[in-house]
Structure 1
Amino acid sequence: MAQLDQTHDPKLESWVASANGHPDFPIQNLPLGIFSLSGGEPRGGVAIGDRILDLPAALAAGLFTGEAAKAAEAASRATLNLFLALGPGPRRALRMRLSELLAQGCPEQGSVEPCLHDAAACTLHLPARIGDYTDFYVGIHHATNVGKQFRPDNPLLPNYKYVPIGYHGRASSIRPSGVPVRRPKGQVKPPDAPVPSFGPSQRLDYELELGIWIGPGNALGESIPISEAAEHVAGYCLLNDWSARDIQAWEYQPLGPFLSKNFASTISAWIVTPEALAPFRIAQPSRREDDPAPLPYLLDEGDQREGGLDVELEVLLLTPGLREKGLPPHRLGLSNTNNMYWTVAQMVTHHTCNGCNLQPGDLLGTGTISGPDEVSCGSILEATLGGKNPIALASREERRFLEDGDEVILRARGRREGFAPIGFGECRATIMAPS
């Protein structure tokens, strides 16, 4: 598990003025991503305030040595897969050196300044080549809320508190923040219809999730013990796993979601490292005293003590009507990662307990993370009770599900007394009409 050190000092300030007090990217964060300048090739960079540190340029300037140089070189490519594969040692060395280079009073400031670019002038790309994607279902309040709509007397299935539920999705349609999402088509069958029909989804939804980037993987046939699982996690992002609820309702039995999910997922473009999130580690919060204990292969004292995360999650909606009237986005939900029933380490261990091999750059999704009340819903399916209770907007519009032209915005913030708050950058996309 990542430990606290001088890079987390809340008094630490950067000579990059915009970083000081920045809502997402102060010097205590230092997330990594892939960017390009106009006409340029994609390359690795680090977010600092409203600037991006060009890692290939900094490497060429001789600003890194040793393990930090090894990590900087791996992070200078067009994807971060080689960097993710290095594991925590080189990653921590790079973070320490980046903190030194960007801190107020750095004697090498003159050599670093030419390596900075205005973030507004850059294009952000997927940070890694995603080989595989798996979506879990660890938000217990979401599972309960959705279960109540179908099974009011028994919302959680018997296996939920014993096994981290998940399904293997697809990676080909995952896109970075800002890329529009086209409304999907598929088969739907309302309860009163005698036969299904084909057409655009009318019950399009968002899902407020955390994404987990896999670092070093495991060989096929081998498993990752729960005590070592944290060493295989390279970072985190926001994830909107768009869902077509009407298509899903017709297709998901007996094998689960297919066309209702595989048309698009949107992620925030920066990888926030486990080291940056060290101040926001907490005990696993969602398991009650009368719940069954995890089976031994999922139980580790250290993970139970600090395997949870305390990160605020927010989802907002910006509609054509709100834009036209100059009104701000409407908050749809405010939740927190402390509503996860299973820890990230438990997800990794369970994923590999049968010998399934994970690889650097694989992406895991937590599933929708909702809170215990109506203001903390992580999907519009929950917020409107399946479309029965429309959401009233200041523009005098209503929403039961998402409409064309709607833009969904996810944000996240780690806050803790005595530490600098950090964020993830936005995860946003606008719904386009079907083709």
Structure 2
Amino acid sequence: MSAAALLPPEPPLGTALGVVAGSGRPGPSRIVVPVGSAYVDVGTLAAAQGGPHPALLGEPTLDGLLAAGRPAWREVWEWLGDWLVDPERLAPYVLPQAGVVPVLPFTVADYTDFYACEQHAANASAIARAGGTVSENWYHLPVGYHGRAGTVQVSGTPVVRPHGQRGRGDLGPTKALDLEAELGFVLGGRRTGPVPIEEALDHVFGVVLLNDWSARDVQAWESRPLGPHLGKSFATSISAWVTPLDELAGAWVDPPARDPQPLPYLLGKADRGLDLTLEVRINGERISTPPAADLYWTPAQLVAHLTSGGAPVRPGDLLGSGTVSGPRRDQRGCLLEFTWGGRDEFALADGTTRHYLNDGDEVSIVGTAPRLDGGRISLGEVRGTVTP
């Protein structure tokens, strides 16, 4: 089959960027755009065809491009969009498929996981305490915690069941391994001091799908009185492909009604949400479809709040949205909610039942977004298999 035959009329992922490595690529890892089942070598294309920023696109990761800032990102995105209109022209720049695999596309500088979904916050509060309600402060600021950047891994990397303290004198592998369907916002440019909300999206390069694996029994024991630590620090998986924010122009929606109104530094025209739909699968079987449109706190607010205390923006900062959940059971984005704290088991099509994840389970999360022309684009997939 010719390389050109691998290229469909439209890329199912829109204009997404990633990095591949392995024996099928020339030299070190390469920045690519996935088109159908093919990987187009973006650096070689830019150098040969006079594209923008060929040196940055020829680097082995997205780090240099992330540092370059939004004007450079927009130039690259518009240039790639023009080339993808006629995929036949890309055939000379398609990498051989044999031995080529996606790798982590950028160096994660800092990882902050937020708690931006009201439905998830309400469910988690009710599960943790009978009749519990969302804490008052949650409605005044985007609550989050600082995670471990070094445990962020690319889709397809196995997830080893972690050990930890599960209670008084109880040490061992978690019995309540969970998934969390989230959006991840990849930041770029450099900024010290607070970022005004009207400038916050200038630092959001794009979106990845994110699974914040969680050991719920470890988390429950260690989280009183402080926040998540070992229950969250063992693995966070992200999709191999970063969808540029400009590619999501058709997905912007108004934020939900808020009462009370946030403080002025969290309000402005950039305070908009993204109408993205996620799909959670266990061993290939769909169990839920969490909607991101109703996230209470929006990407611009996450950036504005994160930096309001003086934290800088660095290329490769990663912000998780927190679990995305809807009001129905089949829209819940984690098993904590889906089984109501492990109380309710659920069955898969093969006849097996679960409260939480078993060894050998493969979890995948996919996502789609509306386009300006009325169609939809894919955000790719984040996938991981639980190992003992």
Q: TM-score, normalised by structure 1?
A: 0.84
In structure 2, the partner of 1:430 is 385
2:170 is the alignment partner of 1:197: yes
Describe the superposition over 1:93-139 as per-residue Cα deviations: whole angstroms up to 9, x where unpaired: 11222222232398xx2xx4211125575211111011110000001
Superposition map of 1:263-342 within 5 A: 263-284=234-255, 286-288=256-258, 291-300=259-268, 302-304=269-271, 307-318=272-283, 329-342=284-297
In structure 2, the partner of 1:64 is 50
In structure 2, the partner of 1:7 is none
% identical aligned pairs:
39
Aligned equivalent of 1:88, options 54, 59, 70:
70
Q: Secondary structure at the match of 1:198?
A: strand
2:122 is the alignment partner of 1:141: no
Residue identity opposite 1:38 in structure 2: S
In structure 1, the partner of 2:220 is 249
In structure 1, the partner of 2:307 is 352
Describe the superposition over 1:127-166 as per-residue Cα deviations: whole angstroms up to 9, x where unpaired: 1011110000001111111111123434200111101000
Distance 1:404 1:52, change over 3 A: same
Residue identity opposite 2:227 in structure 1: G
d(CA) in 1 for partners of 2:303 and 2:5?
A: 37
Residue identity opposite 1:144 in structure 2: A
Superposition map of 1:22-101 within 5 A: 24-25=12-13, 29-38=14-23, 40=25, 41-61=28-48, 63-65=49-51, 68=52, 70=53, 72-101=54-83
Distance 1:34 1:372, change over 3 A: same
d(CA) in 2 for partners of 1:292 and 1:97?
A: 43
2:210 is the alignment partner of 1:239: yes
Describe the superposition over 1:43-74 as per-residue Cα deviations: whole angstroms up to 9, x where unpaired: 1111222211102221332x124xx2x2x421
d(CA) in 2 for partners of 1:217 and 1:417?
A: 30
- Kept in 2, the 8 Å contact 1:32–1:45? The answer is yes
1:424 to partner: Cα distance? 1.5
In structure 1, the partner of 2:324 is 369
- Kept in 1, the 8 Å contact 2:361–2:385? The answer is yes
Aligned equivalent of 1:223, options 194, 200, 210:
194
2:5 is the alignment partner of 1:19: no
Decide which moves more: 73-82 or 382-391: 73-82
- Kept in 1, the 8 Å contact 2:162–2:173? The answer is yes
- Kept in 2, the 8 Å contact 1:223–1:353? The answer is yes
1:421 to partner: Cα distance? 1.3
Aligned equivalent of 1:214, options 164, 187, 198:
187
- Kept in 1, the 8 Å contact 2:24–2:99? The answer is no
Distance 1:120 1:253, change over 3 A: farther
Q: Secondary structure at the match of 1:47?
A: strand
2:156 is the alignment partner of 1:178: yes
Q: Secondary structure at the match of 1:202?
A: coil
How many residue pairs were aligned? 383
Distance 1:292 1:387, change over 3 A: same
1:39 to partner: Cα distance? 6.2
Distance 1:251 1:105, change over 3 A: closer
- Kept in 1, the 8 Å contact 2:24–2:100? The answer is no
- Kept in 2, the 8 Å contact 1:20–1:49? The answer is no
d(CA) in 2 for partners of 1:387 and 1:170?
A: 26
- Kept in 2, the 8 Å contact 1:16–1:48? The answer is no
Give the root-mean-square deviation of aligned CA atoms.
Answer: 1.8
1:197 to partner: Cα distance? 1.1
Gapped regions of structure 2 (runs ≥ 5): none
Decide which moves more: 78-87 or 149-158: 149-158
Q: TM-score, normalised by structure 2?
A: 0.94
Superposition map of 1:122-141 within 5 A: 122-141=100-119
In structure 2, the partner of 1:103 is 85
Q: Report which of the two structures shows the higher radius of gyration computed on alpha carbons.
A: 1
